[in-house]
């Protein structure tokens, strides 16, 4: 049944569709790109129009819409806010795997955790996986902590956030089908995972309880208080424009403890404007310098 007043019934199965689904006009592409930028900071070039069309064609089918203009009007309207979230989910890439960009986990094991274990006081170690996708990144961090077996990491907490509620729920459940388990050694599989009746293999409660999964749009205010020792924000900002990235570097600096670490994806680099807050320590690994990042009344 049609739920949208301006929805048209297709005259024939092919009347409003190209060979592979509805046609995306330049105007509709621009409306979608503007919404993706406003809502999630995603910067989508016109060269990606075909990717947008393919990914959203499924959403049009689910809503029984035949035309992208009607879809745009819906997601721009007050009633279309749930669909807007689904549109952002469809446009973002959730690809990840365990121990992706392994050198960061080596650094965590050999330098960062031993250093944190030596610091005075009883503050628990806090790590944030920002843009955690299906959870492989925070579970890789949790396994590294468990393997380090340092007294100081016992009370460690990992916050795992993503804009996409579906992946956050998936990560929280902690169960992975066989094809998603690449990157784990036999030893890790037998130590941390157990076979489920359904849904493949699941992480045990020890590891799951180290991680809090939450939905969070990085562009919105951050509700967390206190400071983090390490932030993993890898393969996320690559979709953001320079201005959004620059704001994010300053915000990350404001929530990192002095000397805290920021890990980025292999093709991401901090902006020169943020070099006053960060020093480069390793490839795509930065440390917060002593200078505090002014927030100028903006959101954290
Ligand atoms: C390619 S995955 C990266 C996963 C993991 N960090 C890694 O490197 O394997 C990018 C993730 O960023 C999330 N994302 C995109 N825009 C976001 C935003 N504005 N706020 C929070 N998460 C966002 C996507 O939903 C997606 O799960």
User: pLDDT tens for residues 111-156?
Assistant: 999 999 888 887 899 999 999 999 999 999 999 999 997 766 778 9
Residue 162 CA, ligand 1 centroid: distance in Å: 6
- Shared domain for 112 and 222, answered yes or no, is yes
- Shared domain for 42 and 111, answered yes or no, is no
Domain count for the chain: 2
* Residue 4 lies inside a defined structural domain of this protein: no
First to last CA, the chain: 43
- Shared domain for 87 and 135, answered yes or no, is no
- Shared domain for 70 and 139, answered yes or no, is no
- Shared domain for 115 and 205, answered yes or no, is yes
User: For 14-30, what is each residue's pLDDT tens digit?
Assistant: 334 445 678 999 999 99
Q: Look at residues 62, 91, 120 and tell me which one is the last residue of a structural domain.
A: 91
* Residue 110 lies inside a defined structural domain of this protein: yes
Q: Look at residues 91, 117, 137 and tell me which one is the last residue of a structural domain.
A: 91
CA 51 and chain centroid, separation? 19
pLDDT at 37 over 60: yes
Residue 284's domain comprises 103-288
Taking a C-beta distance cutoff of 8 angstroms, is the pair 158, 193 a contact? no
- Shared domain for 28 and 66, answered yes or no, is yes
Quote the pLDDT of residue 13: 36
- Shared domain for 44 and 169, answered yes or no, is no
Cα separation values, 282 from 106, 108, 250, Å: 12, 12, 20
- Shared domain for 87 and 109, answered yes or no, is no
What stretches of the chain show up as alpha helix (H) in DSSP?
Answer: 26-40, 49-62, 68-76, 81-91, 103-107, 113-118, 136-148, 165-173, 186-192, 205-208, 242-255
Which CATH number covers residue 217? Answer: 3.40.50.150
Ligand 1 pocket, residues with Cβ under 6 angstroms: 40-41, 92-96, 100, 131, 133, 137, 162-164, 167, 217-219, 234-236, 239, 265
User: For 78-101, what is each residue's pLDDT tens digit?
Assistant: 999 999 999 999 999 889 999 999
Residue-by-residue DSSP string for 188-207: HHHHHEEE-SSSSEEE-HHH
- Shared domain for 154 and 277, answered yes or no, is yes
**How confident is the model over 272-289, as a mean pLDDT?**
89
Q: Look at residues 66, 91, 116 and tell me which one is the last residue of a structural domain.
A: 91
Quote the pLDDT of residue 239: 87
* Residue 69 lies inside a defined structural domain of this protein: yes
Q: pLDDT > 70: what percent of the chain?
A: 89
pLDDT at 218 over 70: yes
- Shared domain for 82 and 116, answered yes or no, is no
Rounded to two decimals, what is the model's pTM? 0.88
Answer yes or no: 162 catalytic: yes
Task: Look at ligand 1, atom 27, and give the residue with the nearest C-alpha.
Answer: 133
Answer yes or no: 55 catalytic: yes
- Shared domain for 202 and 279, answered yes or no, is yes
* Residue 299 lies inside a defined structural domain of this protein: no
Residue 141 CA, ligand 1 centroid: distance in Å: 16
- The candidate with the shortest Cα–Cα distance to 284, out of 263, 258, 253, 254, is 263
User: For 189-212, what is each residue's pLDDT tens digit?
Assistant: 999 999 988 878 999 999 999 999
* Residue 298 lies inside a defined structural domain of this protein: no
- Shared domain for 35 and 125, answered yes or no, is no
Task: Look at ligand 1, atom 12, and give the residue with the nearest C-alpha.
Answer: 131
* Residue 8 lies inside a defined structural domain of this protein: no
Quote the pLDDT of residue 10: 36
């Amino acid at each position: 049944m049609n739920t949208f007043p301006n929805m048209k019934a297709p005259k024939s199965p092919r009347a409003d569709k190209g060979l592979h689904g509805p046609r995306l006009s330049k105007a509709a592409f621009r409306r979608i790109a503007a919404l993706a930028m406003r809502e999630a900071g995603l910067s989508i070039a016109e060269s990606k129009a075909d990717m947008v069309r393919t990914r959203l064609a499924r959403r049009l089918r689910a809503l029984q819409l035949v035309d992208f203009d009607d879809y745009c009007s819906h997601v721009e309207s007050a009633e279309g806010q749930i669909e807007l979230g689904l549109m952002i989910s469809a446009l973002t890439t959730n690809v990840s795997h365990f121990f992706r960009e392994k050198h960061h986990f080596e650094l965590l094991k050999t330098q960062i955790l031993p250093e944190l274990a030596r610091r005075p006081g009883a503050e628990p170690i806090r790590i944030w996986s920002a843009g955690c996708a299906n959870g492989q990144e925070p579970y890789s961090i949790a396994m590294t902590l468990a393997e380090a077996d340092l007294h100081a990491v016992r009370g460690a907490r990992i916050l795992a956030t993503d804009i996409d509620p579906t992946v956050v729920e998936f990560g929280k459940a902690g169960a992975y089908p066989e094809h998603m388990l690449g990157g784990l050694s036999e030893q890790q599989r037998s130590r941390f995972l157990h076979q489920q009746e359904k849904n493949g293999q699941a992480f045990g409660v020890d590891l799951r309880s180290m991680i809090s999964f939450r939905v969070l749009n990085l562009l919105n205010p951050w509700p967390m208080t206190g400071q983090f020792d390490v932030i993993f924000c890898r393969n996320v900002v690559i979709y953001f424009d320079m201005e959004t990235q620059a704001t994010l570097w300053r915000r990350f600096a404001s929530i990192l403890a002095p000397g805290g670490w920021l890990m980025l994806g292999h093709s991401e680099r901090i902006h020169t404007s943020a070099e006053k807050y960060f020093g480069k320590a390793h490839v795509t690994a930065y440390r917060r310098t002593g200078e505090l990042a002014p927030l100028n009344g903006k959101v954290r």
